[in-house]
Amino acid sequence: MKKLLMIYAVLIATFLLFLYVYAFRDASEHSDEALKGGLHGDIGEKYVMVNFQSGIDYWKSCLKGFEDAANILNVSVEYRGATQYDANEERTVLEQVIAKKPAGIAVSAINPEALVVSINKAVEAGIPVVLFDSGAPKSKAYSFLGTDNYNAGVKAAQQLGELLGGSGQAAVITLPLQLNHQDRTRGFQDTIRTQYPNMQVIAVEDGRGDQLDSERVAKKLLAENPDLTGIFATEANGGVGVGNAVRGAGRSPQVKIISFDTDKGTLDMVKSGVISATLAQGTWNMGYWSLMQLFHLKHEIVQPLADWKQSGISLVPPSVDTGITVVTQQNVENYYAK
């Protein structure tokens, strides 16, 4: 009888010890939520990424960054997008996402205007929203994370200037009506003018974001300008078109081409030397830091100013330049989709 009691005592002690250890672990994991023992959330917290033309390769690395951050922070993600290049479709998708009250939403806006009302509705309902890749400056979204296109143009000019030893004639083939392409062109022109006194930009032409149109424009430029030795294509279709024109005219690799983005056609031309360099955008950074910001907004890990909600304060950095990497024959292998 006495020994049985002892066994019971030991069993009860075991149970209490077990409870204590568990309770201790739970306390260290859940007290103060995301603020003690590291930055981590709850797997039930769902963050949603919303975009347009959701099937294209460009977004894969954005989503990977979003997922990587979610894995580290122990939260969940969902990927929703308009399959077409269609503002109404993206607005509908965004409205569906908002209706489910997720922990946060990262949106790439198909144009600056179409989603403003929906984004503001979400923010006013207490759902954190950040914009990545393509912004909507008039919305109440907390921040924009994407490429500083002016700086991208600066890098393109510096790359071309180096390749041409600081002298020669250059042209730009771009989309003259689109803001991000205007910024790339302006950064390129300003840099040539201020940093390369022996270089000139002799033409800025419209390639319409189309491979064949860009090829035709480039062909004409090459024919009319025998001293042309550099072309900056501000988007990927144009870059491949320009590559075909330069090769067709028998002026590769004397005429150096700087292009944009890292689709397979562009990378193949970098590999073969027809395109000297292409500018890779920081897509992984866009996804990763979008989720990091949303997490901070959701958990209100913000500066300890009294009444920050009323103060109109920037709860997270309102604008994040996610960077540009120059891709050349040396590092092109790293950029093919795995």
Q: Which residues are near a second copy by CB under 8 A?
A: 3-4, 6-7, 10-11, 13-14, 17-18, 21-22, 25, 29, 34-40, 61, 64-65, 68, 71-74, 145, 148, 151, 280, 282, 284-285, 288-289, 292, 301, 303-308, 310-314, 316-326, 331, 333-335
- Cα–Cα distance for residue pair 192/161, rounded to 1 Å: 8
Would you say 105 and 50 are in contact if contact means Cβ atoms under 8 Å apart? yes
Nearer to a second copy, 37 or 165 (CB): 37
Closest CA to 257 of 10, 266, 265, 331: 266
Sort residue 273 into left (φ over 0), alpha (ψ -120 to 50) or beta: left
Shortest distance, position 156 Cβ to a second copy, whole Å: 15
Shortest distance, position 21 Cβ to a second copy, whole Å: 5
Nearer to a second copy, 198 or 330 (CB): 330
Shortest distance, position 192 Cβ to a second copy, whole Å: 19
- Cα–Cα distance for residue pair 232/217, rounded to 1 Å: 13
Shortest distance, position 295 Cβ to a second copy, whole Å: 10
Would you say 135 and 155 are in contact if contact means Cβ atoms under 8 Å apart? no
* CA-to-CA separations, 279 to 185, 236, 257, in angstroms, rounded: 14, 10, 11
Shortest distance, position 128 Cβ to a second copy, whole Å: 16
What are phi and psi for residue 116, nearest 5 degrees?
A: -55, -45
Please tell me the total number of residues recorded for the chain in this structure: 338
Nearer to a second copy, 98 or 316 (CB): 316
**Residue 300 in tokens:** 């209100």
At CA 86, angle to CA 83 and CA 88, rounded to 5?
110
Nearer to a second copy, 18 or 85 (CB): 18
Shortest distance, position 279 Cβ to a second copy, whole Å: 11
Q: Residue 148, SS3?
A: coil
Would you say 74 and 40 are in contact if contact means Cβ atoms under 8 Å apart? yes
Shortest distance, position 94 Cβ to a second copy, whole Å: 25
- Cα–Cα distance for residue pair 131/116, rounded to 1 Å: 11
- Cα–Cα distance for residue pair 194/155, rounded to 1 Å: 13
Nearer to a second copy, 237 or 322 (CB): 322
Nearer to a second copy, 97 or 145 (CB): 145
Nearer to a second copy, 157 or 228 (CB): 157
- Cα–Cα distance for residue pair 41/218, rounded to 1 Å: 52
Shortest distance, position 222 Cβ to a second copy, whole Å: 30
Nearer to a second copy, 151 or 200 (CB): 151
Closest CA to 231 of 198, 182, 196, 278: 278
